[in-house]
Amino acid sequence: MTLENASTAARSTPTMHDYLREEAAIEPDPVATGPVTKETQIIAIYGKGGIGKSFTLANLSYMMAQQGKKVLLIGCDPKSDTTSLLFGGRACPTIIDTSSKKKLAGDEVSIGDVCFKRDGVFAMELGGPEVGRGCGGRGIIHGFETLEKLGFHDWDFDYVLLDFLGDVVCGGFGLPIARDMCQKVIVVGSNDLQSLYVANNVCSAVEYFCKLGGNVGVAGMVINKDDGTGEAQAFAEAVGIPVLAAIPAHEDIRRKSANYQIVGTPGGEWGPLFEELAENVATAPPLHPSTLSQEDLLGLFKSEDVGRDVVLEPATIADMCDAATLDKPSLEVIYDTV
């Protein structure tokens, strides 16, 4: 090939700039002017362990399904008990355990291995590491990575409800807030200091990530086991979020929940309560709450209930050591001044 032919061939070979010009010349699609299509609401529910998140979510998701909504419930608590009430006490195979077993066998995880359904509710458990053998938050991250491989972002649901432990100081449990994986958060609490402390931490996490440009807000609070003393209601008012529902501390609810029975059924005694909760969860906008100091939290309760009148007494070195230790001669050399 002569130099002239080589030069001509080089000019005829498309370069990266040519590709970029061609791409830039393509007219963009016209702006959509039709009605807004359905968008999945992804809602993360947070609360102290044992406060009743799983009870609330099982009944809420069941009621939503009976109202014709397509609902996916994902348990993100290492205890893997979110779906136990929904499935009558039966344990649901977790994504983490199933993924490990499939990997050892050289197989891929499929939807049918980890997702199960009852009366229109789809449910799964992320799971967690064995006791003392790993980080629960890291397990959550691994679980969501598996969900993405299964096509999570292409699934077609009206609502995806995520059940998270309220320990948002852990990066894994704070994942939906930190990475904008949900549109809004709901906190479950009761009229006790510890559950409101956790709810306050969740509000603090939302506030922090909003300052960094995050978009997640708090839609409100569900008061569970409400005995009417009013501390949870006062907390919600103080931080600026609504109460979406107050589930009473009623023996019928306690007994049926302990027997793995759904109480949020249309036409049932507690049906209207969960119908209202479903409506409020669907329509409540994400808000940017304020947070309370520890003293302000204590102020929601009577002093005799929380020991608020206790005075902090500073300790001294004499309190920390015995007399013989304090009487040891010093090796320090002290020079007289003239």
102 is catalytic: no
- Which entry of 69, 70, 79, 102 is annotated as an active-site residue? 79
Pairing of strands 71-75, 159-165: parallel
With a CB cutoff of 8 Å and minimum separation 6, the contacts of 39 are none
Please indicate whether residue 48 is annotated as part of the active site.
Answer: yes
Per annotation, catalytic residue among 97, 167, 296, 305: 167
In the residue annotation, 226 being an active-site residue is answered as: no
Quick check: 77 and 289 in contact, CB under 8 A?
Answer: no
Q: Which of 48, 184, 225, 256 is catalytic?
A: 48
Beta bridge partners of 221: 187, 243
Return the exposure string of 178-204: e unless at least 16 CB atoms fall within 10 Å of the residue's CB, then b: beeebbbbbbbbbbbbebbbbbbbbbb
Task: Return the DSSP state at 36.
Answer: P
Annotation says 77 is catalytic: no
Strand 184-189 relative to strand 159-165, pairing: unpaired
Round to whole Å and give the CA distance between 55 and 250. 14
Q: Give the chain's largest Cα–Cα span.
A: 101
Distance CA 252, CA 230 (A): 22
Q: Give me the phi and psi of 155, to 5 degrees please.
A: -70, 150
Q: What is the CA radius of gyration of the chain?
A: 28
Residue 32 DSSP class: P
Residue 169 sits at φ, ψ, to 5 deg, of -70, -15
Angle between helices 95-105 and 136-149 (to 10 degrees): 70
Per the document, the length of the chain is 338
CA angle 142, 289, 195 (to 5 degrees): 65
Catalytic machinery residues: 48, 53, 79, 167
